[in-house]
């Protein structure tokens, strides 16, 4: 048994890139899914405590794992696991701020940061939400993840019906096909389930400004909660013009990294729904900073979900601790071995469509290391 009172000095950092092929790939605005990737991070302390985290793969899991297993490992080994601010600052100064790999570094350091928070919770015997100053409270969930793609309307209605039967009271539909087909699917879902179902839509950066101009009246008429990522994250001008069209709030953030990019996103006031991913934006430490910035403008945080139970648990714990929580994005993909086999699941839904943070120390998630060995990374694009 590890001695939780012994040194929390970091002695090992390792990133594991893993993949599995998808048999029935969902088609989204970014293409048809042919595989799923994940990147799991393991940190061990001198006292024997083990922390787990998840870095987003950035569609290049081997490269992100290599960054963790070389440069970042050398930077943080020997530091104290409790010093999440110090570890973050060291990686920022030595790698992210200048002459580094930019976004790739933000992805890589996110998993390390999660693992350190997992260790902190295990060291004191507290679940993460309690360590963050929160309480065990219900968190509303919507059905998202890699699901609800470009099916014919009737098939999409059947899929949403199954999700409603599970208890979901909100769903996210995929846009970015064509405006006409996107609206056809949206109208079919609204007709089938009425006003009680909350609907969000996500264009996966597949729209142009004219598409938003054309689709906005239908979004208003169908009472859509938000239009997510109509454009790539760097297209600030298009976001500004699209926001001026009014009617439905714009959502973004899963492809914005660190508080510095969110500072601009908040300041420009084009995006009203903020969606940092704790496996992308710099981890839990940076997620707390972003949430605090957003609370100053009365903006809620709706985290984007990555692949495994580690990211999901981190998001649920964060939402249970901040004062401006939004929705938890549940991954309802038909095929997700990272959710169903690699890790235990933290996202069990109650009868009211909510999830709850776990009570086990840290993130409270177990990882099957045999799965990692049995599912090595598959090189190549995840979408075609």
Residues 116 and 231 occupy one common structural domain: no
Residues 168 and 310 occupy one common structural domain: yes
Q: Does 165 fall in a domain?
A: yes
- Whether 87 has a pLDDT exceeding 80, the answer reads yes
Residues 245 and 359 occupy one common structural domain: yes
What is the structure's pLDDT at 290? 98
pLDDT band at 246 (very low <50, low <70, confident <90, very high): confident
Residues 210 and 302 occupy one common structural domain: yes
Tokens of 93: 């100064």
* Residues of the domain holding 121: 10-126+370-374
Q: Tell me what the pLDDT averaged over the chain comes to.
A: 96
Q: Does 135 fall in a domain?
A: yes
Residues 75 and 166 occupy one common structural domain: no
CATH number of the domain that residue 53 is part of: 3.30.390.10
Residues 277 and 136 occupy one common structural domain: yes
What is the structure's pLDDT at 28? 82
Instruction: Give the residue carrying structure tokens 């069209």.
Output: 245
Q: Does 238 fall in a domain?
A: yes
Q: What are φ and ψ of residue 172, in 5° steps?
A: -115, 120
Q: How far apart are CA 340 and CA 344, in angstroms?
A: 7
Question: How does DSSP classify residue 258?
Answer: H
Residue 381 vs residues 58, 91, 204: alpha-carbon distances, Å? 10, 28, 16
Q: Does 179 fall in a domain?
A: yes
Residues 111 and 147 occupy one common structural domain: no
What is the structure's pLDDT at 3? 57
Residues 104 and 133 occupy one common structural domain: no
Q: Does 28 fall in a domain?
A: yes
Q: Does 5 fall in a domain?
A: no
Q: Does 382 fall in a domain?
A: no
Q: How far apart are CA 273 and CA 225, in angstroms?
A: 10
What is the structure's pLDDT at 1? 54
pLDDT tens-place string over residues 188-203? 999 999 999 999 999 9
What is the structure's pLDDT at 2? 55
Strand partners, 250: 227
- In the chain, pLDDT over 70 holds for what percent of residues? 98
Q: How remote is the C-alpha of 227 from its chain's centroid? A: 17
Q: How far apart are CA 64 and CA 56, in angstroms?
A: 8
Instruction: Give the residue carrying structure tokens 């009617």.
Output: 247
Q: What are φ and ψ of residue 245, in 5° steps?
A: -70, -25
Residues 236 and 356 occupy one common structural domain: yes
What CA dihedral angle connects 76, 306, 255 and 317, to 10 degrees?
-70
What's the whole-model pTM score?
Answer: 0.96
CATH number of the domain that residue 356 is part of: 3.20.20.120
- Contact between 307 and 331 under an 8 Å Cβ cutoff? The reply is yes
The number of CA neighbours under 13 Å toward the Cβ of 13 is 32
- Per DSSP, the residues of 87-148 read HHHHHIIIIISSSS-THHHHHHHHHHHHHHHHHHHHHHT-BHHHHTT-----EEEEEESS-S
Q: How far apart are CA 282 and CA 219, in angstroms?
A: 33
Residues 104 and 216 occupy one common structural domain: no
pLDDT tens-place string over residues 121-172? 999 999 999 999 999 999 999 999 988 999 999 999 999 999 999 999 999 9
How deeply is 230 buried, as exposed, middle or buried, from its count of CB atoms within 10 A (0-12, 13-18, 19+)? buried
Residues 136 and 194 occupy one common structural domain: yes
Q: How far apart are CA 69 and CA 342, in angstroms?
A: 21
Residues 15 and 138 occupy one common structural domain: no
pLDDT band at 30 (very low <50, low <70, confident <90, very high): confident
Tokens of 358: 């776990």
What is the tally of structural domains in the chain? 2
Question: How does DSSP classify residue 9?
Answer: B
Q: Does 296 fall in a domain?
A: yes
């Amino acid at each position: 048994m590890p001695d939780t009172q012994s040194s929390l000095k970091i002695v090992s950092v390792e990133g594991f890139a893993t993949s599995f092929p998808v048999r029935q790939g969902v088609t989204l605005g970014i293409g048809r899914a042919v595989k799923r990737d994940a990147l799991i991070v393991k940190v061990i302390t001198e006292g024997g405590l083990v922390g787990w985290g998840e870095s987003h793969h950035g569609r290049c899991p081997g490269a992100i794992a290599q960054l963790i297993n070389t440069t970042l490992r050398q930077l943080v080994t020997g530091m104290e696991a409790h010093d999440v601010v110090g570890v973050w600052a060291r990686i920022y100064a030595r790698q992210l701020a200048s002459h580094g790999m930019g976004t790739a570094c933000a992805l890589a350091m996110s998993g390390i940061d999660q693992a350190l928070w997992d260790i902190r919770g295990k060291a004191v015997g507290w679940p993460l939400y309690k360590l963050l100053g929160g309480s065990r409270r219900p968190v509303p969930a919507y059905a998202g993840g890699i699901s609800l793609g470009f099916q014919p309307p009737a098939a999409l209605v059947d899929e949403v019906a199954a999700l409603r039967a599970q208890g979901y009271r909100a769903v996210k539909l995929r846009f970015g096909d064509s405006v006409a087909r996107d609206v056809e699917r949206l109208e079919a879902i609204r007709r089938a389930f009425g006003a009680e179902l909350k609907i969000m839509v996500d264009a996966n950066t597949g729209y142009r400004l004219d598409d938003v101009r054309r689709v906005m009246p239908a979004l208003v008429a169908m009472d859509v909660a938000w239009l997510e990522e109509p454009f790539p994250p760097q297209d600030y001008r298009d976001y500004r013009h699209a926001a001026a069209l009014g009617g439905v709030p714009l959502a973004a953030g899963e492809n914005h990294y660190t508080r510095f990019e969110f500072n601009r996103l908040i300041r420009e006031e084009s995006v009203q729904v903020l969606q940092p991913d704790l496996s992308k934006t710099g981890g839990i430490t940076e997620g707390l900073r972003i949430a605090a910035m957003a609370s100053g403008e009365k903006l809620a945080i709706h985290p984007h979900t990555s692949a495994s139970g580690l990211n999901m648990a981190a998001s649920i714990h964060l939402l249970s601790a901040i004062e401006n929580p939004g929705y938890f994005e549940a991954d309802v993909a038909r095929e997700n071995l990272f959710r169903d086999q690699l890790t235990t699941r933290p996202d069990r839904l109650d009868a009211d469509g909510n999830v709850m943070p776990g009570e086990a120390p840290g993130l409270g998630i177990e990882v099957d290391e045999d799965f990692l060995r049995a599912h090595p990374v598959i090189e190549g694009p995840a979408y075609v």
